[in-house]
Structure 1
Amino acid sequence: MNKNNLVLTGKSLELKDIEAVACGKRKVEIDSKTFENIVECRQLIYELAESETPVYGFNRGVGMNKDREVMGKYFSEYNRNLILAHCVSVGEPASEEVTRATVLARLNSFLIGCTGIQPEIVLMYRELLNREIHPVIPSKGSIGEGDIGCLSHIGLAIIGEGEVIYKGERMASDEALKKEGLTPIILGPKDGLAIVSSNALSSGKGALVLNEIERLVDTLDLIYALSLEGLRGNVTPLEEKPCEYRGFLGQKKSMQRVRDLLEGSYLWLPGVTESLQDPLSYRGSCQVHGSLRDALEYTREYLTLQLNTSDDNPCLLKEERRIISCANYEPTTWVLGFEMLGVALSHVSRNACYRTIKLANPKFTGLSRFLTPSDTRVIAYGTIQKTFAALDAENRHLSNPTSVDYLSLAGDIEDRGTNSVYVVEKTGKIVDNIWWILAIELLHASQAIDLRKATKLGKGTKPVYEAVRKAVPFLEQDRNLTKDIETVYCLLKNGNLLNI
């Protein structure tokens, strides 16, 4: 066993593990005792196959066809047909990172032992990750009660009838499996439903989004601190004592970070600011960022629970030697967390826009209009506001809840939905838009600091300011600002500024 590999048990997968495997290509292994349990569960499936007891998706059909009997001699054909019939998703394929996160999420939940899936499929999922064979998964087609229309394409790939991305090339899955010396899976009892009935696409992608939000919220504090120096703002709202009386955990963390970042800044010198109270977008930034932290903490807790528990229906109860229908596929608790994050992010987005507007206004800064170095010669940031206004408008609409928008399907028996995949996707879009908005704010903050000739910056803000100026020079003459925005966006999104 390679000590650098991630060992999966079904019970200890963390969000950072998802990112390491999905984005960093970390290899995975399966705990030996856990795998023994998978083998035992499969043996129980074979025993139950001889029973006359009706079981959903096992010896009976699924959805409206739950009353259709499936004869033992047709298990292989039925499960293959189930995979094919559920290959209904459309649209652009999930990225390789999201696909890897999805495969990992489902592999980990296999290991809990409630699926009864054949051990060969478990091993195949491991090999998909370790050999970088990535099934092509069209991303649109899940209503959020199990991502069945999307996950079926993983099933299609492992039986050698789908498509994969292998070493950067899209090809037939049987060709890729052959290149790696792997044999396509022959499906047996319950395998089809075990493959498709899971929320692994939304939860896997959700883990990647949450990891990005964690980087985003730390970056928010950093850019706010720089903007405060650009504004020559009032730092009394950062004092510790009032925050102690409030007690909100996220707010306390953001405020402590900003105080640390501004340690040694000129803002703490007596008489620096003439403002008794800054605009709310500055005075309450730590509170707004703290709200995002609190929402993130809630969602992280329940998504981690999702990743380390069974969402299978029906559920195999090994100890009781039976398999029963349930509603463990229901993801509303953590989907609501993403809806909450969308609203919190929209607040963050709007607040950052107002901070930037204030930096361009001489009424609040005492500096030139739109931070121009020459009123008569250079327009500077006079037009750039339209960009962040457009991005913020998009964020506002993306933050609208969609988990309540669903239809009654499958002959009115499937009358629930959460749209979990789309909820996660739109949350990720808001995050990406905010990186652009923050890039524009950071350009303003740096320009204001230069115009103010503020050399005594905080111990945390100074190296960031210097990194920005190394990448984007002071705006002395009008130039193509799209390039400047993109340069700073890349600095922010890749997390480099947090590691200075």
Structure 2
Amino acid sequence: MHINGENLKIEDVEKVAIKGEKVELSPESIDKIIKSRNYIEKIIQKGNVVYGVTTGFGKFCNVMISSEDTKRLQKNLIKSHSAGVGEYFPEEVVRAIMLLRTNALAKGYSGIRLSTLNTIIEMLNKGVIPLIPSQGSLGASGDLVPLAHMVLVMMGEGEAIFKGQVLPGREALKKAGIEPVVLEAKEGLALINGTQVMTAVGCLSLAGAIKLSKAADICGALSFEALNGIIDAFDERIQLVRPYKGQIATAKNMRKLVEGSELITRQGEKRVQDAYVLRCIPQVHGAVKDAILHIKNILEIEINSATDNPLIFSDEEKVISGGNFHGEPVAINMDYLTIAVSELANIAERRIERLINPYLNEGLPAFLTKNGGLNSGLMICQYTAASLVSENKTLSFPASVDSIPSSANQEDHVSMGTIAARKAFKVVENTAYVLAIELLCAVQALDFRREKNTFLRLGKGTNVAYNLVRELVPKIEEDRVLSNDIKTLVEIIKSGELIKRVEEAVGGIE
């Protein structure tokens, strides 16, 4: 994959971060990087006052640094800023961080040497993955703390994973055949002053959310069938008089998924209206789709932006200090993603309750089990779903509304964007489990519907989903450990296998 700082997509981030696709700089980017660095060298020779090049950092921006101390300044910057704590980011997140930092620097506005940038690319392509603590970033001035831990390994310090082993940074580089970097003027700042950690976590969270949005329609359609849902609520005419794209797309998906089913009903056949968790699937799932579309647009701007400070405009021979490192656009939208995905879990958990509750499930056995009392069936699965939904609610308090000044009040408003992104990442994970539980319950409910008629026809898409689940997880005849069943089903949701199989049957869903 060619990296040029201009046209990276969320799908590209997935390819590199999860599938391990190799990257290289485009020829145009190489020219821009060299030109930008040449101008930095010119500034140093002249002794001009430029933040981060000939001065200290943050509140020390007025402290002049001699040309003899520029290398030491950059090294000290990385060491002092490596103050992260907490669990390490997963490997796929670190790969995404390295990719996004490369893409931002490839724009040619940061004054980094080509050889230094190539070191990140070599590490990424050869599988040297720095251990980066997940806590410590304020989201302005960029993701200073976690990115510093990435740069430590580039310098031959810190720790990294290489071929499954945790090694000292220098040893990991040596085994991969990569020379450590000795940072020159401006390079330390160029490497750590940006939003790439929050944005990397955000991109992978969004990629997961896109899958969950489609999977939620599939799971919802299975529950809809099992509860003899009224198809009239998905009539296109209803959607067109409130023409949100997500609502229209979800209703279309639902019609496709249950097409041909003998279990769905029409208005007035069994009841006049369904409960909201069935009737309002287009409105709720659709709102999440609209949120995802908006957030995708924001993140694809961010991942192709220069977020360093100062920025080098070598064509005009200008160095301008600004605030592109501030993570507010990402922070607000990560909070938005957290809230949106939480709603997928919220409504799914209520469908789970409706499936297992004998007072609500249209004649199905209590907790979807035979010999209730002796067997608890799927009773406790709803507890797990409720627990996850409740956790999502606590995680949905926005991080972006908080700010604590830093650097002696020089950096007096910060985004907390990395906290927002980390919360979104967790909510996506929790919601995948809730949907897996709905899948387990809905297919079990359909088994009871088909007891009297094995040939009872399911929908065009739901039949495929049903068969895939039953390939992997047998019907629950009596109580058994369900944790492994849930893990099996969450994997087909997160991997996209459920979506792929269903889309092949119905000609795609939106």
Pick the TM interval, shorter chain: over 0.9
Q: Give the deviation of 1:486 after TM superposition.
A: 2.4
Equivalent residues, number: 495
Q: Does the 8 Å CA contact 1:233/1:275 hold for their aligned counterparts?
A: no
Q: Does the 8 Å CA contact 2:444/2:475 hold for their aligned counterparts?
A: yes
**1:220 corresponding residue in structure 2:** 216
Q: Are positions 1:83 and 2:78 aligned together?
A: yes
Q: Are positions 1:451 and 2:452 aligned together?
A: no
Q: Give the deviation of 1:379 after TM superposition.
A: 2.8
Q: Are positions 1:321 and 2:327 aligned together?
A: no
C-alpha separation in 1, matches of 2:266 and 2:401: 53
Query: Where in structure 2 are the equivalents of 1:38-187 lying within 5 Å?
Result: 38-145=33-140, 146-187=142-183
RMSD: 1.6
C-alpha separation in 1, matches of 2:468 and 2:135: 40
Query: Where in structure 2 are the equivalents of 1:269-418 lying within 5 Å?
Result: 273-364=269-360, 365-375=362-372, 377-418=374-415
Q: Kindly provide the amino acid, as one letter, of the partner of residue 66 in structure 2.
A: M
C-alpha separation in 1, matches of 2:334 and 2:125: 30
* Residues 270 and 87 of structure 1: CA distance in aligned 2, closer, same or farther (over 3 Å): closer
C-alpha separation in 1, matches of 2:87 and 2:373: 49
Q: Give the deviation of 1:267 after TM superposition.
A: 4.0
Secondary structure in 1 matching 2:160: strand
Deviations 1:3-51 (A, max 9, x none): xxx0011101111111111111100011112101111111100111133
Q: Does the 8 Å CA contact 1:136/1:164 hold for their aligned counterparts?
A: yes
2:5 to 10, 20, 29: 10
C-alpha separation in 2, matches of 1:357 and 1:101: 38
* Residues 273 and 425 of structure 1: CA distance in aligned 2, closer, same or farther (over 3 Å): farther
Q: Kindly provide the amino acid, as one letter, of the partner of residue 432 in structure 1.
A: E
**1:261 corresponding residue in structure 2:** 257
Q: Does the 8 Å CA contact 1:88/1:141 hold for their aligned counterparts?
A: yes
Q: Give the deviation of 1:430 after TM superposition.
A: 1.0
Q: Give the deviation of 1:318 after TM superposition.
A: 1.4
Q: Does the 8 Å CA contact 2:138/2:416 hold for their aligned counterparts?
A: yes
C-alpha separation in 1, matches of 2:342 and 2:172: 43
* Residues 496 and 386 of structure 1: CA distance in aligned 2, closer, same or farther (over 3 Å): same
Q: Are positions 1:490 and 2:491 aligned together?
A: yes
Q: Kindly provide the amino acid, as one letter, of the partner of residue 24 in structure 1.
A: K
C-alpha separation in 2, matches of 1:179 and 1:402: 40
Q: Does the 8 Å CA contact 2:4/2:29 hold for their aligned counterparts?
A: yes
* Residues 442 and 81 of structure 1: CA distance in aligned 2, closer, same or farther (over 3 Å): same
**1:244 corresponding residue in structure 2:** 240
**2:507 corresponding residue in structure 1:** none
Deviations 1:378-401 (A, max 9, x none): 332233322111111101111110
Q: Does the 8 Å CA contact 1:250/1:293 hold for their aligned counterparts?
A: yes
**1:461 corresponding residue in structure 2:** 462
* Residues 42 and 358 of structure 1: CA distance in aligned 2, closer, same or farther (over 3 Å): same
Q: Does the 8 Å CA contact 1:373/1:451 hold for their aligned counterparts?
A: no
Q: Give the deviation of 1:339 after TM superposition.
A: 0.7
Q: Does the 8 Å CA contact 1:235/1:267 hold for their aligned counterparts?
A: no
Q: Give the deviation of 1:439 after TM superposition.
A: 1.6
**Structure 1-normalised TM-score?**
0.96
C-alpha separation in 2, matches of 1:182 and 1:48: 30
* Residues 271 and 389 of structure 1: CA distance in aligned 2, closer, same or farther (over 3 Å): closer
Q: Which deviates more from structure 2 when the two are superposed, residues 487-496 or residues 34-43? A: 487-496
Secondary structure in 2 matching 1:91: strand
Q: Give the deviation of 1:89 after TM superposition.
A: 0.9
Question: Where do 4+ consecutive residues of structure 1 move more than 3 Å?
Answer: 267-273, 374-378
Q: Give the deviation of 1:483 after TM superposition.
A: 2.8
**1:473 corresponding residue in structure 2:** 474
C-alpha separation in 2, matches of 1:439 and 1:401: 26
Q: Kindly provide the amino acid, as one letter, of the partner of residue 323 in structure 2.
A: A
State, as a whole percentage, how many aligned pairs show the same letter.
Answer: 34
Q: Give the deviation of 1:273 after TM superposition.
A: 4.7
Q: Kindly provide the amino acid, as one letter, of the partner of residue 378 in structure 1.
A: N
Secondary structure in 2 matching 1:112: coil
Q: Does the 8 Å CA contact 2:119/2:154 hold for their aligned counterparts?
A: yes
Deviations 1:128-173 (A, max 9, x none): 1111111121111100110101101122111112221111111122
Deviations 1:96-120 (A, max 9, x none): 1111100000000001111001111
C-alpha separation in 1, matches of 2:232 and 2:207: 32
Q: Does the 8 Å CA contact 1:355/1:441 hold for their aligned counterparts?
A: yes
Q: Give the deviation of 1:248 after TM superposition.
A: 0.4
Deviations 1:191-242 (A, max 9, x none): 1100110111111121111111101100000000000011011111111111
Secondary structure in 1 matching 2:312: strand
* Residues 160 and 306 of structure 1: CA distance in aligned 2, closer, same or farther (over 3 Å): same
Q: Does the 8 Å CA contact 1:232/1:272 hold for their aligned counterparts?
A: no
Q: Does the 8 Å CA contact 1:166/1:176 hold for their aligned counterparts?
A: yes
Q: Kindly provide the amino acid, as one letter, of the partner of residue 410 in structure 2.
A: I
Q: Kindly provide the amino acid, as one letter, of the partner of residue 182 in structure 1.
A: I
Q: Kindly provide the amino acid, as one letter, of the partner of residue 497 in structure 2.
A: N
Q: Which runs of 5+ in 2 are unaligned?
A: 502-510
Q: Are positions 1:209 and 2:187 aligned together?
A: no
**1:3 corresponding residue in structure 2:** none
* Residues 120 and 276 of structure 1: CA distance in aligned 2, closer, same or farther (over 3 Å): same
Q: Kindly provide the amino acid, as one letter, of the partner of residue 383 in structure 2.
A: K
Q: Does the 8 Å CA contact 2:258/2:462 hold for their aligned counterparts?
A: yes
**Structure 2-normalised TM-score?**
0.94
Q: Give the deviation of 1:451 after TM superposition.
A: 1.1
